[in-house]
Chains A and B, each alone.
Chain A
Amino acid sequence: MTKNYFFSFVVLISSLITSCSDDDYTEIEDILPVATNDVGTYELLSTVIVDVASNDTTGDAVLPSTVSIVGGTDTDGNTTLDKLVVTNDGIWTANPVTGAITFTPNGGLSTSPTPISYTIKDAEGNVSNVATITISAVPTAVVDLTQVPYPKLSDYKFFAGIMKNQIPSLNVLPLEPESTLFTDYAHKKRFVWMPPGTKATYDGEGKVLELPVGAALIKNFYYDNVQPSNETRIIETRIMIKKATGWIFAEYVWNNEQTEAFYNMEGSYTSITWTQENGTPRTVANYRIPSETECFVCHKVNNVAKPIGIKPQNLNNDFPFNTGSQNQLAKWVEVGYLDGSNLPSNMSSTVDYKDTSKPLVDRVRSYLDINCAHCHSQEGHCEYRPMRFSFSDTGNANGLTNMGVCVDTQDMQGFPSTLSKIINPGNHNRSMLYYRINTNNETYRMPLHGRSEIHTEGVDLIRSWIATLEPCQ
């Protein structure tokens, strides 16, 4: 009997619920929310915020607080997935109130991150489709030829994130010649940038690559473990920019706070004390930041301003790019910075003078090329002296003579008479070249410009080499 009553009760209740008067019943139609793909841009190393909900308007009204990252985790217990860590890329987070997605890139991210997805709900709790968020890194560097040189280094936007970290922004390519110039033991970071769609051309293995109008070469000079704070101190950034009328120089001197560098062509001196790799302190008391006039002494070929380091002979080697170690010339071609159509397959290249596995004479030739040849060459400031230190001049049958071996010294006034040969085989103490690289006397020292300290390692290299030379005939 009870069973029957229950059924009837249910039926009664149901009909009570459902069978309202025909006049009161309306059908409710439920619309679903629609998530739309989002696209954004970001500058390398900077945080990006994408308001993903704002374009999700084609369906039911969405609740921004319900944005949920596909594959993410719920860190705040509100049922939305609000954080996703992508190795190599960075961290995506969703704002629990506004639904805005923030992307914080990793310090080493030099490309665009992999796109992620999200969903969003309407007030009814319906979940939308999955939509993508695609963020693309954009280049920031700006070199307006009608405005340069800019008053501040940051104006160029050559660097991403905090400028003193020296991370290049998109399309600013790091570079390093195989043997480097000695500048009072300063470290260097070098970069090149070209306007989009332009490229450099090959002009001969011993001549600098011909860069397009608008190109910029950037060189930071810095020391690590600088006292008293034991931090890195960037001293200066030297920039060359190619205008239609030729190369110009732009020198930037960094402030003590390391937040900015300011255009200054007047030249100045500074002093640096730092702790070397072996733990001992060292001071450069009179580091010279060059004036415009001094730039031009070295950076010229036949009296026309020119870069020095970017010769193919110096770039035909592997550099540890972010994308992996790769030959620099190949990298330039790959990123569209170099027309590789006439690059010879067999190039004589300089070696790293510090590489003891390389032949001593090649190390010496490379050292002399990068430290001396810009003045001591046919087209350089001091062409009237017989030395020809360009790498391409020191490897042939006349190479030793071009390096001054057994050649009489011309400029003898004031020097000890024992220095009558530029290089005296086997006898560094009777070699003028050795004497002049091994002194700080400002009227004797070689190079005349660009150093105030003796490069003991370079001097040792030259001395070792002199000891191996055959006597003069």
Chain B
Amino acid sequence: MKSIEVISPGMHTSFQDLGRADYAHLGCPVAGIMDEYHAKLANTLVQNSVKEAVLEISLKGPELKFLHSALICVTGLGAEVFVNGQQKKINFAFVVKGGDVLEISRITQGNRVYFAVHGGFNVVHTLGSASHFHPLTKHLKLQKNQEIQLNKVSLEFNKLHLNAHVSVENQHYFLSEIEVEKGPEFKQYAKQLLPQLKTGEFQVSKKSNRMGIELLPALKLTSHSILTNVIQPGCVQLTPSGKLIVLMKDAQVSGGYPRVLVFPQRSMDVLSQKRVGEKLYLCFKQET
């Protein structure tokens, strides 16, 4: 069987795909890829469907040994990627041979990169998705010495367009302005919220993960609980102490804090790559 051996799993490496959005009625988070642009780019570069699972790799990457040849790529804003010690470009597909060792030693820009293999990973699906989410899946991330099976590839390498070019348009990740939209409870807080957003400089707090990203400093206003209502990734909750929490892919599907703003997916992609302490500004989309 075609497979990959996990020599070391890295800091937080997990399988992610488009998630299990159809299980919110059972209380299951959507889960799935945080930065959709780069994950979809990874699948596109190795000529997969964007629905294929990829490995989402945070900060310090894994060391993977290939037992067979494969067409692979690593996508993101910046990372040091080596095959048998030789540095490779990111956002570029290339072929590895059986016995080769891929090492993603360090993510130099952003928080996470994506790793895809032509044909895709043969991963157990739980409730329609390969996305790691404990306890729906046995583990919450990739394990040391785990063996990853690959799907049978649909095309032989000689039939692949190995020099196919995909233009990478990720310039907007380097801007500090992030576009937001109004949330369902925006109106109730608009008077106090708007002036603070206009002048506000925020930064990503340490208390940020795949469930939510907290923005600091807290706003000078207090919120009141609402009835437990529907929440989706991208909703921004205003906590009673005035903190904004942007709900990300592993967030709960229901919650009782007012949803004052909404991050469109493109903005969630960008936010997911902002590092702790990085400064950012929130601006409203022109059309609204």
- Does A pair with B? no
Residues of chain A whose beta carbon lies under 8 Å from any beta carbon of chain B: none
